[in-house]
Amino acid sequence: MNRELKELDINIIDPDPDNPRIVESLKTFNIEPNRENILNVLRNAPGGDGPGITELEKSIIATQGILDPIIVCPKGDRYLCIEGNTRLSIYNKNLERYPDILFWQTIPALIYKDIDDPMLEMIRLGAHFVGKKEWSLYAKGAYISNMIKNNAKTFPEIVEVIGGTPSKLEGLLTAYDDFNQYFAPLFAGTNEAEGGRANEKEMSKFVNANTGSISAALETYIPDGEHPKARFAKWIKQGKIESAADDVRKIPTVLSNDISREAFLSDKNLKIKDALKLIPRDINVGDIKLSEADISRLADELKLKIGETTIDELKNLDSENLDSLLMLNLDLNQFLDHIDTD
């Protein structure tokens, strides 16, 4: 592959109009995708899971430039920025402010020459799915959506570049579609004072909601006439589901109990962590030896105990408790396999 490292004039580099971090903003607000507008949107785009644009700008100023070159490819007599669009927008903004400062006038760039469209897409994927400059979950979902729906790529083809599994990527795409179909419209017509646009970081909750037991609970217990993900989206907006890691996984436990389910579904202000506390505990459980308790009672108590345990607490389990859970998981799988076989 023909590549060249070079200092390029800022004014001959165009930002990527297909960058997932800004493509939805351009579409939502009907913004013309010209160079100036794209650079402005990039400056205000959510920072995802990495450092915000302000911190990145401070770092660039402190080091008098960027440490990693942006990646570009020739487009006629200009260049298209494949990776590093945020850094390009920072340089462009500061060049407008300080036109006489030399280091804002050019930017280190790795130029990929003679590159075709499929290879361009693969470079984008490699840089932002497995590199240190990863996009947010929402941006990844947007890019996968574009690759699958507009570029006729398959999940196995994308996996060859970024790793993982087709099912994981498919789950990410489903979460992205659910977010845009059920959550984003809840903010239509609102201004910043009323809550503004949907927070893209909330997509992590939709990712977790696609797991088997949670998805099944939503399908089973949400009343007919309303799509389960539409109700789930409302819970997020109402603040009933606060943590993607801890709260979303409580859904099966809360919805499977009549008392907690009725309270949680009817009270728009009741958080799921508080609904969990409404589940009655068997007052006699302390009087029964563990060896004499039936499987149903043991399972219910363990389910409640796990539901009350945070992800951080689970991560900090001592080796004895962790080994017990791992062995229980193996034994349960074998037990259920026997049931399926019979």
CATH number of 116's domain: 3.90.1530.10
Judged against a pLDDT cut of 60, whether residue 192 lies above it is answered with no
Maximal C-alpha separation, the chain? 82
Same domain, 13 and 109: yes
Same domain, 113 and 52: yes
Q: Which of 4, 7, 39, 9 is nearest to 25 (CA)?
A: 39
Same domain, 186 and 86: no
Same domain, 64 and 9: yes
Q: Which of 307, 171, 183, 302 is nearest to 243 (CA)?
A: 307
Same domain, 97 and 155: no
Whether residue 232 contacts residue 182, with contact meaning beta carbons closer than 8 Å, is answered with yes
Q: What is the pTM of this model?
A: 0.68
User: What pLDDT sits at residue 75?
Assistant: 93
Same domain, 305 and 318: no
Q: What angle do CA 172, 176, 181 make, to 5 degrees?
A: 145
Q: Which domain holds residue 335?
A: 314-342
The SS3 call for residue 245 is coil
Judged against a pLDDT cut of 80, whether residue 100 lies above it is answered with yes
**What is the Cα 11 distance to its own chain's centre?**
33
18 φ/ψ angles, rounded to the nearest 5 degrees: -100, 10
If you average pLDDT over residues 187-193, what whole number do you get?
61
Strands 106-112 and 70-75: parallel
Whether residue 28 contacts residue 112, with contact meaning beta carbons closer than 8 Å, is answered with no
Same domain, 174 and 284: no
Judged against a pLDDT cut of 80, whether residue 55 lies above it is answered with yes
Judged against a pLDDT cut of 60, whether residue 234 lies above it is answered with yes
Judged against a pLDDT cut of 90, whether residue 291 lies above it is answered with no
Q: Which of 193, 194, 301, 205 is nearest to 253 (CA)?
A: 301
Phi-psi region of 43 (alpha: psi -120 to 50; beta: other; left: phi over 0): alpha
